[in-house]
Amino acid sequence: MSDAKTIVATAPVADRVRAYFAPVNRVTGNAGVFDPARDGRFALEAPPPGWMDAGVVRDFVRRSETKVSPLMSGAPAVARTQVRSAVGAEIAWTFDGWSRLAMALSGGGALMNLLEVAASADARDSGGHAADAVPVLSGSTARVLQVSADAGFAVGDIVVVDVDYGGETGFAGSGISGAYVANADDVTGDPHTVRRVSFNVGRVVDVNGGAVTLSDDLPAGTPTEAMKVAKVHGFVDREGGRFFQEWSALFVVDGVQGDRVLFHYPRLQAAAGAEETVGTLAGQLSTWPLRARMRALPVVDANDGETVFCFRSYLPAAMREVLR
């Protein structure tokens, strides 16, 4: 007969919150799905397919905007039952580092790549007309790009890989929608429009002839031969504009005693503009981390048809009391 005993339940104890993000398919409206029953114990360094590891975030705050109201009847009026008269949620957190993903989530609007500018281009606030991009050749993979040997890329370069813009309207960007083009005239028919807003970026870590190796796989996977490669100097966002980024988010509180709490927000859009939280270091030095504040949007739970904004899951540690 086993003499195993349960342990009294306690609140999870953790020293960090880990964040993961997946793009919402803006064409179909499909959000990133996370199944806590199947994938809840995933290794933090290896998230489920489709999720991007954003590392540790700080100052994570959840705020419910749900309002509960009584339904009154009778004389005198008495509360007979209750309803949720409004449902919503906001969350906020601070990124430890700047990246294209962090800037997009913090700013919430269209984020542009600062493409290599053509020699004769006029100066523009979000980057002048881009230099010619380099075609992707056959044999390329999500990590190794095959280009002409004289393409001119070097170790350390940032590159973007995407198609020429051909006058289409709608969401732009392979794999992840980076902007919405309502009218070709708005972007002056610029063939570099898609590459300017694309998330399909990477850092060059090796160049061997025409083989350009990136530090990570491209988010959109193996590039097609319709795509071209362009050098990127950085990223620029703007206060204003019509486009909203939309992402699925997963925040993991990994308890040191073996328990785990997961907060899954299938749809998030920015609830505020770009913000930095300035902190003081030694002397006159200061740090400028990015602050993100986002509003949850609804999805329908396939199990019961309920409209919800967030899924909160708790995975108990071994032998924890679970009922009380």
Looking at residue 2, its pLDDT comes to 78
Q: Which stretches of the chain drop beneath a pLDDT of 50?
A: none
Residue type, 179: A
Residue with tokens 């990590």, as numbered in its chain: 143
- pLDDT, position 324: 81
pLDDT, residue 16, reads 95
d(CA 292, CA 112): 18
The secondary element (H helix, E strand) that includes residue 84 is strand 78-86
Contact (Cβ atoms closer than 8 angstroms) between residue 65 and residue 89: yes
Nearest to 162 by CA among 188, 192, 186, 187: 192
What global pTM score does this model have? 0.92
39 burial (CB, 10 Å; 0-12 / 13-18 / 19+) is middle
> What token pair was written down for 233?
């100097």
> How many whole angstroms from its chain centre is CA 304?
27
Residue 244 confidence (pLDDT): 96
Cα dist from 166 to 72, 226, 318, whole Å: 59, 12, 57
For the chain, the residue count is 324
Nearest to 57 by CA among 102, 107, 111: 102
pLDDT of residue 281: 86
Tokens of 175: 């794999």
Element (H, E) at 315: strand 311-315
- The type of residue at 44 is L
